[in-house]
Structure 1
Amino acid sequence: MTWIDFTVLVLYFVAMIAIGLWSMRRVKGQEDYFMGGRGFGKLLQTFAAFGAGTGAHEPVTVGRTGWTSGLSGVWSALMWLFVTPIYWITGVWYRRMRHLTLGDWFVERYDSRKLGVAYSIFAIVFYMFYLSTMLSAIAKFAVPLLGFEEFAGVDIKYWLIPTIAVIVILYGVLGGLTAAYYTDLIQGIFIIVLSVLLIPYGLIALVKEFGDPASQGIMDGFRIMHERVSDDYFGLFSGPAAGEFPVPYIISLTLLVLVGIVVQPHFIATGGGSAKSEYEARVGLVTGNFLKRLCTVGWALTALIALALLAGNAEIAADPDRVWGVAAREILGPLNLGLVGLMLACLMAAMMSSADTYMIVTSGLVTRNVYAAYINKNASEKECLNVARATGLVIIVGASAIALWMADVFGQFKLAVELPILFAAPFWIGMFWRRANATAVWFTIAFSVIFFFVLPALLPVLSPGMRTDPGLTQPTYLVTRTTTRPVTAADVARHEAWVKATADAAGDEAVLKNIGPEPPAGAEGETADFVVKTGGKPIFWRGGLTPIGEVTLETVEEREEGDTRILVQRYTNAHEGTGDFNLDFLLYHWLGLDLSKASKATIETLRLPPRLFLPFLVLILVSFVTRRERKEVLDRYYAKMRTVVDPDPEKDRSKLAEAYANPEQYDSIRLFPGTDWEFVRPRKIDVVGFVVSVGVCFLIVGLLWWLAGIGRD
């Protein structure tokens, strides 16, 4: 990075802090701090949803999976695409709740302040770990851009993470949601710039490096990309990694995130709760998330361009996570226009626009559901604001500490994204079924904690023999696919990069393992065998399997599919399981299902049913045998959720008072009046908006397919 790049970076940070100080003067009470006075229109709601939903790790994750899996790697972030139409419906829910935090919703619906406390604890744990992964990611991704890994003899992450944390604290803690939303608007623009900046410059670089700049332009860059990268990298549902993202896996991911996303704490604000009206809530949430999906298309295309241009880069060969950083440095650096600094600012914007919203929402939960509910019931607005700011400070500092000292960031990230299943069933069932009650919710939370988090770690300790039980330690079949095809220019460069990266590793086993096996060698145009091995994965053990004695294999099947020879083998030696136990897979074991032939994607897909259905089943069954909530509490709640929001607060309060006095007035719009089910007839705006959103989803997939096909013979 040059002085111009550092100047761009400093100016960006100064602007964010200035917005925080300006917003602080506008904060008069809790509603101003946590919801910005519920005065945000479509533009700010759009960029709030876009900013909070776009993390710094996502463009780099797509860069990595695009590098290893080709175009199909886009599903590592695009899995959210078909969840977006549901937001057209849920945006109305969050606005009609009229709450400052999602914890308030659990308190009201289940008439239990203790549930508000439980949800607050969940939010703190969830966001500390979730934000820590983003902070760590920024530090790692910034290294190729900065050009150095240490400063003053100290690892750069120990400088970078605290710096980012201080800036988020300065504008987020001081200015509240207003500051977060205005900075999200600016940062959202930066993220969009990030998503498209490398594409034209990357295509031009391809022409300069492998074409004729005097007679060729950007469109020729697409043709060169296809010439240098083999066709199997351009499959949307299959690729060189043998279908890492098949359709069933994508569907399972979509369903899992659909169930869990609605209870992520920030959705009460970015999901529509801070909008002026229901329409602003809907448009902001859906448009903001479609913006993110469009950016994902840009990330995928950038990964393919980087693959064509930088296949010979030893730095990426050693660590594919650095695709984005190296691409920015190699493509934008020579221009000397401050674009490398802008790119780093964009990556930081992606992280910070998520962090500020998460921090403010969680501080609201602690303030309202813990401090004001149990510690100081007569707290003034000023005291509540001070507690909120202190809580936000603790969350960011805690996330920074975890990012700096936690040993297994990726493992904690996976834990964080699974945590929402604790509250997902109580939310969905509570929205539509009167019979659901607080006792059943507590039972469901306890069941989910024990079944999905405690027992998987505890069972192997209580019964060590499980780790060597032949029935629980048999890996899936090892499948070797050998495809004979012409060697491309990118293949030649990949082999050269592998040779250099292996030499640079100097025998370091950890680095060599990350680099992987030697790719095929050969001159461009020659025919070579490309081998992809899949399978051999544990079914019941999250930490993997360790062979006991010599590894032995026997052939199960050999067949040919076109130019690909497939060899299926079974391990015959014993293994020892490591890590936590996949308790939910015992259900399949007891049902007699043979999962030895299952692919990695199938194993991941089968994780869905227990997580999706068991908490719902437990909640429904326990609700039938326990006492329902008081009728007046339920009548008041469902009357409020049926009352259309008026942007004028006074008129809205008047409409609510009328609804509370006569909750039966809404029986005419219920699908099943006289029952415990609270489904209502969809309105025209519900149906039209949902159908249009589904259509946009397919348009985005079509756009991705079309862009990837430009330049193909």
Structure 2
Amino acid sequence: MRVNLSALDWFVIAAYLGGILVLGLRVSRGVTNSKKFFVGNRAFGKTIMIAQALGTGTHSDQAVGVAGAAYTGGLSGIWYQWMWLFTTPFYWILAPVFRRLRLTTTADFFQLRYGRPYAVMYAAFCLYLLALWQGIAIKGTSETVSAITGLPECSISITVAIIFTIYGVAGGLVAAAVTDCVQGILLVVLSFLVLPFGLPKVGGLAGLHHALKPDYFTIFGAAGGELSSFNVTMLVISGLAGIVAQPHMMAVASTGKTEWNCRIGWTYGNFVKRFCTVGWTLTGILAAVLLPGLAFGEREKAFGMVVRLVLPAGLIGLMTASIMATAMATCSAFMIDAAALFTENIYRPLIASNKEDGHYLKVARTASVMVTAAGFVCGTTMPSVVAATVHFISILPFLGVSFWIGIIWPRANRYGAWISTLGSAIIFFGAKHIGASNAWASLASLLVGIAGMIAGSYFGEPEEPVRMNRIFGYLQRPAVDNDILSEAVLE
């Protein structure tokens, strides 16, 4: 395979990768305890919180997936990320909830709310999910960078993983959040860099309209298609139901010094992402004119191919560095979230409960590496970025329902939580097995999950009033410090 990089491109890539590694290691020096490793001592300001929300929630596979969907379906491809558009305002409401819980992981909440078995189940599920997400990010990055540069996908994946693993293991969430400040800027560059060079080649936006069929510029796909109005509606609903169960949300939403910082960071960081999605969509439509004839299975290569076609030397290196930046920002954060779940919710309570803090810090760093290795395995087994995205959006409501109802309804109990989670999973996969579409399976699963939660909570015994008073008492008390609930409270 021929390598399509100039000396200037190599210099830009090397300078970026070296610089981000040095920065990550530099800020890692003060990370000497598990509390700072997992949640940064809850001391982040607004800028760090915005960068963390943007960097953790945005990765190159999303640009690749949206551009690929836009290549074949036009503007409707934007919904593979704009499905979160209607969820974003809820972040303003939810951020204080996560901050006031004063917990390290979302599994801690489930332990307090529904008992340890449910929390362990959630932690195990999320370790799989975080490995899957790392795999998606690494796969999307390696495919795109390979299409741009001609380098082998394996060498790209290994390079990206080594860099974010080194500074992530050393500095935990602090290193991930600080490097996100730099990588967030490059993320915006990635989103729009192609357009000033590519649009003149096709006669601007008017040229796109002239070259493509009118249905490329409709916001929804055809009825029965992958992005019909009904399918998009179900993606939006599933996203809202499952967003609270995403394992990295506790770190993204609750690590600010104040509730205001958390609100600003989570909400504004994601609004920047919604803006970037427009650039990804237009890049995919541009590729449909410049690179016609790609097979459906090759559409996710369109982003990288159009970058190589229209950008000059130097900027190809900058785009390549930008794409790698998004993967490293995301994967380093996911790695820390996975380490926190394993250490705090599986290893500490089930394997070694009375060790020094330094012991748990070592376990967390080891778990970080293991989850990254699992991410490689997941990346080799998924059929496509879009398929993996739809898969995790569809399964998150299995647990999201019990979180939403758990913070709203004190009567909700562990019986309802288990019935809801198991029932919705059985219905979803059963419906898919008999040939139902993903949208109809998601609707049936969500309705069964809500009904199961209500029925189980009514007929089962209520949870202990002391624990419920503690949870809802904390939710009513504004958080103004960096405290985390003690282990005694979690028992």
Conservation of the 8 A alpha-carbon contact between 2:394 and 2:442: no
Which letter does structure 1 place at the counterpart of 2:372? Answer: I
Structure 1 residue identity aligned to 2:465? K
Which deviations, in whole Å up to 9, do the C-alpha atoms of 1:345-397 show, x marking residues without a partner?
Answer: 21122222211111101111111112221222222121111111111110001
* Partner SS state of residue 355, structure 1: helix
State the AA in 2 paired with 1:147.
G
Note the C-alpha offset of 1:400: 1.2
Q: Indicate the residue corresponding to 1:329 in structure 2.
A: 308
Can you list the C-alpha shifts for 1:200-251, whole angstroms capped at 9, x where unaligned? 11123335xxxxxxxxxxxxx2333333333332222347x98653333322
Provide the TM-score with structure 2 as the length reference.
Answer: 0.92
Distance 2:457 2:337 in 1: 30
Query: Aligned residue for 1:354?
Result: 330
| 1:174 paired to 2:155 | no
Structure 2 unpaired stretches of 5+: none
Question: Judging changes above 3 Å, is the alpha-carbon distance between structure 1 residues 648 and 440 closer, same or farther for their aligned structure 2 residues?
Answer: closer
Pick closer, same or farther for the CA change 1:407–1:283 going to 2, 3 Å.
Answer: closer
Partner residue, 1:261: 243
Contact 1:23 1:176 in 2 (8 A): no
Which residue matches 2:360?
384
User: Which of 49, 73, 93 is residue 77 of structure 2 equivalent to?
Assistant: 73
Give TM-score, length-normalised by structure 1. 0.64
Residues 1:48 and 2:29 are matched in the alignment: no
- 2:266 is aligned to 285
Give the alignment of 1:109-120 within 5 angstroms. Answer: 109-110=113-114, 112-120=115-123
How many pairs does the alignment contain? Answer: 481
Q: Conserved in 2, the CA contact under 8 Å of 1:129 and 1:413?
A: no
Alpha-carbon contact 2:146-2:156 (below 8 Å) kept: no
C-alpha separation in 2, matches of 1:630 and 1:407: 43
1:642 aligns to what? 476
Matched, 1:307 2:307: no
Code of the aligned partner of 1:201:
F
Which digits, 9 at most, give the CA deviation of each residue in 1:179-205, with x for residues without a partner?
101111111111100111111111233
- 1:38-187 pair list within 5 angstroms: 38-110=42-114, 112-148=115-151, 156-187=152-183
Question: After superposition, what is the alpha-carbon deviation per residue over 1:275-295, rounded to whole angstroms, capped at 9, x for unaligned?
Answer: 111111111111011101000
Query: For 2:240 and 2:92, how far apart are their aligned partners in 1?
Result: 13
Amino acid at match of 1:141: T
Bigger proportion of residues as strand:
1
Q: Which residue of 2 aligns with 1:235?
A: 218
Q: Higher RCO, 1 or 2 (CA under 8 Å, sep at least 6)? A: 2
Q: CA deviation at 1:39?
A: 0.9
Query: Counterpart amino acid of 1:123?
Result: C
Structure 2 counterpart of 1:173, which letter?
A: V
Q: Does 1:194 align with 2:190?
A: yes
Provide the secondary structure at the position in 2 that maps to 1:24: coil
Deviation at 1:90, TM superposition (A): 0.8
Task: Tell me the C-alpha RMSD between the 2 structures.
Answer: 2.3
**1:298 match: secondary structure:** helix
Aligned to 1:320: 299
Counterparts of 1:297 and 1:348, CA distance in 2: 20
8 Å contact from structure 1 (residues 260, 424) kept in 2: yes
Change (3 A) 1:92 1:346: same
Secondary structure of the structure 2 residue equivalent to 1:262: helix
Q: Of 620, 631, 650, which residue of structure 1 is paired with 2:454?
A: 620
Aligned residue in 1 for 2:416 = 440
Change (3 A) 1:636 1:300: same
CA distance in 2, matches of 1:164, 1:340: 17
Match of 1:581 in 2: 434
The verdict on how the C-alpha distance between 1:451 and 1:244 changes in structure 2, with shifts beyond 3 A counting, is: closer
The alpha-carbon deviation at position 273 of structure 1 amounts to 0.8
Q: Give 1:407 deviation, angstroms.
A: 6.5
SS of residue matched to 1:26: coil
Give the structure with the higher percent helix. Answer: 2
* Contact 1:316–1:326 under 8 Å retained in 2: no
Aligned equivalents of 1:60, 1:419: Cα separation in 2: 22
**2:466 alignment partner in structure 1:** 632
Q: Secondary structure at the match of 1:236?
A: coil
Q: Distance in 2 between matches of 1:429 and 1:13?
A: 44
Cα gap change, 1:260 to 1:409, in 2 (>3 Å):
same
- Hey, what's the Cα distance between the residues in 2 that align with 1:198 and 1:70? 17
Q: Which runs of 5+ in 1 are unaligned?
A: 149-155, 208-220, 457-539, 543-579, 586-602, 654-659, 661-713
Q: Highest Rg: 1 or 2?
A: 1
Distance in 1 of aligned mates of 2:213 and 2:75: 12
Q: Give percent identity, aligned residues only.
A: 31
- 1:644 deviates by 0.8
